[in-house]
Amino acid sequence: MMKRILVTGGAGFLGSHLCDRLVAQGHDVICLDNFFTSQKSNIKHLLTEPNFELVRHDVTHPIWLEVDEIYNLACPASPVHYQYNPIKTMKVSVMGAINMLGLAKRCGAKIFQASTSEVYGDPDIHPQPESYRGNVNPIGVRSCYDEGKRAAETLFFDYWRSNNVNIRVVRIFNTYGPRMHPYDGRVVSNFILQAIKGEDITLYGDGLQTRSFCYVDDLINGFLKLMAAPDDCPGPINIGNPGEFTIKQLAELIIELTGSSSKLVYMPLPQDDPTQRKPDITLAKEKLGWQPTVELRDGLTKTIEYFASLDLSKYRKPTGHTAHCSTETDEKMRTLS
């Protein structure tokens, strides 16, 4: 059955892949984006499709539409972007959730929230199940994102309990693939760009902190399965790849796949940077029948091909930020400013 579906943040990395899938399924898709971190080139190929519509709008302001489903993906999602304007980041998470939940309530629409593994903070339980409440710093430099997403989850479940809004909440673990912003400051994009250019690859800390990397196609499959799940399955549900790699292993694999002469260099660990991150996807397997299928080597090969094809002059480099500074360096920068 064709549905009218709103995707906020629809021109971003994840949003554009989701729009691709929904348009291909024949749904009438409204892509809403303010283009703070996204690129119009991500959805350029969809602009001629009769069942696709692009609206430039900021989710911190209400919008009145008639839709059947809402995917709320709008939010800066990398440290260099969300720390650039931390107050606006918090507004996007909280006010954006309020506005989209209000729209869902009025329309009777099912609504999906893209939450994050950052709600677990620097976890002292490994891997992280959905029942784990986290070890989060509420006043740190990353808190605008971590606490904003935690507050959004609260709002979603309060609207579910108080107003019977049909919700779905997913907690996304590190995801990578084509259409990542080349200057988003995330570890995969950083390493690939540095390797392609033959520059030193920058590792923070000792490089032994771990991450789990999920290829974008697998993630979008998880989104669609959760949205289609029975109404007694609101989440939150972890969606991510449980394969665990150290940051150093990731760097070495990218050097191998690019044939780069890059060397590894080490910098101080940023403030509140988690030392371990791995999803427990038991619920996703049981409730959704979902698990990732793309191996890291295969996904990185596709991502490297994408980055190698980019004209980097068409992308804005990040403005000044302290996202990758250690606590000590950050204090020095504040003192000098």
**Residues with catalytic function:** 145
Q: For 69, which DSSP code?
A: E
Helices and strands (H, E) in the chain, number of each type: 10, 13
Instruction: Report the SS3 class of residue 129.
Output: coil
With the CA atoms of 281, 284, 290 and 291 taken in that order, what torsion angle do they form, in degrees rounded to the nearest 10? 0
Which of 320, 301, 295, 167 lies closest to 236 in space, CA to CA? Answer: 167
Q: Which residues, including other chains, have CB under 8 Å from residue 24's CB and lie 6 or more apart?
A: none
258: amino acid identity, one letter = T
Amino acid, single-letter form, for residue 180: M
Burial class, 326, CB count within 10 angstroms (exposed 0-12 / middle 13-18 / buried 19+): middle
Strand partners, 316: none
Length of the chain, please? 337
CA-CA distance, 76 to 330, in Å (whole number)? 21
- If phi over 0 gives left and psi between -120 and 50 gives alpha, with beta otherwise, what is residue 41? alpha
As a whole number of angstroms, the distance between CA 156 and CA 105 comes to 11
